[in-house]
Chains A and B, each alone.
Chain A
Amino acid sequence: MASRGGSAHRANGSRDKICHFKLVLLGESGVGKSCLVLRFVKGEYSDHLEATIGAAFLTQTVNLDDTTVKFEIWDTAGQERYHSLAPMYYRGAQAAVVVYDISDGDTFVRAKNWVKELQRQASPSIVIALAGNKADLKDIRKVHIEDAQSYAEDNGLLFMETSAKSDQNVQELFLAIANKLPKSASGSPRTGTLEPNVSDRMRQQGNGGCCKS
């Protein structure tokens, strides 16, 4: 199987237990979702990433004190017209990062809609993080940090203003998510991603039930 271990970065110390988590990236197109995740995975902000074929699916490992968290990052298409496809992606995800652009007020409104939708439809235990990207563009800021902060507090979200360009808060954001994720399911890795009625739902999805709405 190409999927397994395809781009796995095994932790140095394999003594720890390894937790696999599916993380989904949501946000309007152009807010820098892929830059953010590329910065997290590759540690660089660059257009010349020779080794990476695509930024749509990436994996990255985060080492905590006693556990190793392996993120499987699923990017989604941010354009409004693909909005209806999003449930397929966040189904079964343990974490979601909703990204907006601090220099664009509309993207923040959109991000709030994403959060609402996740709270309504995604797994109840999903860890949601709100990321105000492009924090380096403070001069043309449209979304005040206080607004976003209070919104995040009201909704129980992790919040950080990040900048993929200046590598601000990127590692921190993912580290915070890793810390907040429950590690109980770590005994048998990957079971976390699989819920009992998963196959039924996939079947539904296959039957086109997902797209009726």
Chain B
Amino acid sequence: MFTSHALVVCIPTTPISCALCRSRRSTGERRMEQGNRLKRLSNPDLRCRNKCGFYGNPIYMGFCSKCYKEQVRDAPGSQATPLVAAQDTTPTKSAASPGAFAAFTKFNVKKNVFATAKGKGKLFTKGKVTAGFDQPKEKKSKKSKVSDNTFSEFLKTLQKPAAKDLVQHLKFDHRMYSESVVCLADRFHKQITDRNDTATVEEQSEAVQEFYTSMSERLTTHTLFRDVAEEQQEDMMDGIEKHLMTNIFPMLATHTHTHFTSPLVPLVPLSSSLTRRVYSPDSCDDAMRDLLLVRRIRMLHWLEPTHLDIPLNLHDLQVQEHVSASRQSLCDMDQKKAPQDKLLCISRCCQELLAALKISRDGPASADEFVPSLIFLIIYTSPQTLYSNINYISRFSHPMRIMSGEVGYYFTNLCGAVSFVENVRAKNLRIEEEEFNVKMGFVNGKTDIDLFLMEGEVEEEEDRERIMVLESCTERMKELSGQLKHMLGDINDLSRKVTESTRGLTEQVSTILSMPPPRVLLYQSPRVGQEGGATGLPPGRSTLQAPKRERGHERRWSGDKRSGDRKGFTSTL
């Protein structure tokens, strides 16, 4: 990306070493390996001592991992020593005190075995809520079948005779622990199902933190655990925390970290739904911040190590190896669930970087070199969900972990580096403002954040217009529907009137029809014939007479109509 030589990813070393233990090798081993790479390929002594054909590893006393496990199964007593000796990077912290705490020591050793053997962090990925509690009492531990669940391994070790005292502790602890976990898990379920999406991530975080506090209080104050050394209590808290977070992670993931489920979020243009999230204070805007960070890192593609005065000698093969291991660890963080596993990735990333710096500078690096290098590493690696990861850790990790200790220091550095990348300005890189703006593609001094917000504003403006149009349409629709209603009423009235008048007319017609046919006509016709035919008078005369009668008749008829008396009418006729 930045420099061609730095892009070399040192994966091709795979075939020469036992793949499982690559990540934990010390610097010395690496260097030696580097020199002996070719020799080692042909050296039969470096194959597994069991002659199984696979390569052995000094950590496994020269066996390959599989044979070593078998070896360990055959001789349970001898397992711890060589491993601890080989662990130069993680010295065991528990003093090997006999009796009650032997199990804890073994737990530590076991943890180391896992950390060494698995390396890439299958430490605690398949935790089941019940597995840890129910199995150890019923089942005999089968060492050949290596469980991924370290915590349940820890519980299993407590079955051994040396840990008799502790089993009693454990029984109590188990009850207390499961109660608390179940209680908390229930609370989470309740929170999430009751309020559905409204349970904010802050509330969830608060609940988890409360649980940590109450749990560690119970551990420190309870009679059974009061005498347990602080470090062992911390180990227990570690186990509890890891177990809890691994189990509730899917729940959290669906609500706050949906994007964790997908391997890597493809860089998509910022959608309007994301833009809207900026303006909604309640929702979790991590995903948006992730995208912004990735966007900014993309804009910084022109950055060279010289801009930050980084003393990394990227031409050196060993340095390259360390840097790529460091980048790998940073990316591995996405696949971890428990906060401490994520922190372990950060820690590994930083240690690899420090190792690279040490080679480049020929001496241990201080923060003056380390911080710029970490910034460069982040830009160089461009992790997709770094922001979400940092927020996840600070929300759900035990606060002690991120405030103190080596891991806390590395985490602080990572936060600092991210905030530097987010806020980098021309003066930070010792270049001219104009040059910086051109390189970053800023127009009229507007930063990417401004542009992003402007995009949002433009969209909002458009939305507002659309809403206005919609509103006027609705208004018109309302008006029209009112009119329509009115018109329908009119129509009803009209049709009723029409029906009524029709009925009236029909009645009239039927009345008229039911009347005897007016004799007037029958009566008149002979007269007309008689008058006209007999007298031969001019028509005017006869017509003069006839109307008279007709008029009278008409008068009478109408009067009859008023009285409705048919008989009267007939009689007059």
Contact = CB atoms under 8 A, between A and B. Distances in A.
Q: Do A and B come from one complex?
A: yes
Given A198-B399, A199-B209, 8 more contacts: A2-B347, A3-B407, A6-B406, A56-B365, A56-B409, A72-B409, A194-B403, A206-B394
Contacts of B403: 91-92, 193-194, 198, 202
A140 interface: no
Contacts of A188: 220
A1 B358 contact: no
A203 B289 contact: no
B271 to A, nearest CB: 22
Interface string A142-180: 000000000000000000000000000000000000000
Interface stretch (B174-182, B415-423, B520-528, B558-566): B415-423
B370 interface: yes
Interface stretch (B230-238, B255-263, B312-320, B326-334): B230-238
15 contacts: A4-B234, A5-B231, A6-B91, A6-B405, A7-B406, A34-B367, A54-B351, A56-B366, A76-B371, A77-B370, A81-B430, A89-B416, A190-B400, A190-B404, A198-B403
B419 A3 contact: no
> What 6 A-B pairs have minimum CB-CB distances, sorted nearest first?
A5-B93, A34-B366, A3-B405, A54-B354, A211-B419, A3-B407
Contact of A81 (B93, B340, B422, B427): B427
Interface string A74-92: 1111110110110011011
B358 A54 contact: yes
Interface in A1-21: 1-8, 20
B401 interface: yes
A202 B289 contact: no
Interface string A49-82: 1001111110000000000000010111111011
Contacts of B231: 4-5
A1 B231 CA distance: 11
Interface string A183-213: 0000011100110001100110111101100
Contacts of B402: 202
Given A1-B238, A85-B420, A199-B394, A22 B368 contact: no
B404 A55 contact: no
Q: Interface of chain B, helix or strand or loop or mixed? A: helix
Contacts of A89: 412, 416
B93 A88 contact: no
A54 B347 CA distance: 13
A38 interface: yes
A76 B412 CA distance: 11
B302 to A, nearest CB: 18
A77 B372 contact: yes
Contacts of A72: 404-405, 409
Nearest to B309: A79
A47 B344 CA distance: 29
Contacts of B230: 189
Interface string A108-120: 0000000000000
Given A82-B416, A194-B399, A20 B404 contact: yes
Contacts of B406: 2-3, 6-7, 57
A205 B366 contact: no
A112 B542 CA distance: 143
Chain B contact-residue range equals: 35 or more
B391 interface: yes
A91 B370 CA distance: 20
Interface residues of A, number: 55
A85 B423 CA distance: 11
Interface of B: 27, 90-93, 202, 205, 209, 220, 230-231, 234, 238, 289, 309, 340, 344, 347, 351, 354-355, 357-358, 362-368, 370-372, 390-391, 393-395, 399-410, 412-413, 415-416, 418-420, 422-423, 427-430
A39 interface: no
Interface of A: 1-8, 20, 22, 25, 29-30, 33-34, 38, 47-49, 52-57, 72, 74-79, 81-82, 84-85, 88-89, 91-92, 188-190, 193-194, 198-199, 202-203, 205-208, 210-211
B415 A206 contact: yes
A52 B400 contact: no
Nearest to B238: A1
Nearest to A81: B428
A22 B408 CA distance: 11
Contacts of A25: 367
Contacts of A47: 362-363
A53 B351 contact: yes
A78 B368 contact: yes
A207 B355 CA distance: 30
Nearest to B375: A82
B219 to A, nearest CB: 12
B405 A4 contact: yes
B390 A206 contact: yes
Contacts of B27: 53
Given A3-B347, A8-B93, A76 B405 contact: no
A4 B366 CA distance: 21
A65 to B, nearest CB: 22
Contacts of A85: 371, 416, 419-420
A74 B366 CA distance: 10
A77 B368 contact: yes
Contacts of A193: 400, 403-404
A77 B357 CA distance: 15
Nearest to B405: A3
A206 B201 CA distance: 13
Contacts of A3: 347, 401, 404-408
Given A4-B234, A54-B364, A81-B428, A211 B401 contact: no
Nearest to B27: A53
